[in-house]
Homo-oligomer: A and B are copies of this chain.
Amino acid sequence: MSAVSLVVRNRDGGRINGDLKARIQKAVSDLDYRPNSFARSLVSQLPSSISVVVPSIRNPFFGEMLEGILQVIGTRFTIQLHVPSEDMDYGIDIVRAAQEDNIAGLILATPPQTTLDSFRQTCPTVILDAYTAMDVSRIELNVVLAGHQLGRHLVELGHRSVGYLDFLPDKATFSCRREALGAVVRQAGGALHNAPAPAEYLDIEQGEAAFSRSWPLWEAAGVTAIVAADDILAYGIMKRAQEMGMTIPDRLSVASFNDIPFSALVSPALTTVDLRAHELGLQAARVLLDAIAREVSSVCTVDPELRVRRSTGSRRAGP
Contacts and interface: CB of A to CB of B under 8 A. Distances in A.
Nearest to A239: B265
B83 A80 contact: no
Nearest to A64: B58
B63 A86 contact: no
Residue from A35, A74, A79, A262 with most neighbouring chain B CB atoms (10 Å): A262
Given A70-B83, A204-B261, A266-B262, A100 B63 contact: no
A25 interface: no
Contacts of A67: 57-58, 83, 86
Q: How many copies does the complex hold?
A: 2
Interface string A242-278: 0000000000000000000110111110000000000
Contact of A42 (B36, B62, B85): B36
Contact of A235 (B35, B81, B265): B265
A81 B39 CA distance: 21
A75 B83 CA distance: 10
Contact of A60 (B48, B58, B66, B102): B58
Contacts of A98: 78
A109 B85 CA distance: 21
A166 interface: no
Interface residues of A, number: 54
A76 to B, nearest CB: 11
Contacts of A101: 37, 48-49, 78
B74 A85 contact: yes
Nearest to A265: B266
B78 A37 contact: no
Contacts of A78: 80-82, 97-98, 101
Interface of A: 32, 34-39, 41-42, 47-49, 57-60, 62-64, 66-67, 70-71, 74-75, 78-83, 85-86, 96-102, 120, 122, 203-204, 235, 238-239, 261-262, 264-268
Which 10 residue pairs spanning A and B have beta carbons closest together? A267-B267, A262-B262, A81-B81, A38-B42, A37-B102, A38-B38, A79-B81, A265-B266, A38-B41, A58-B63
Given A62-B63, A239-B265, 4 more contacts: A35-B100, A60-B60, A79-B82, A262-B262
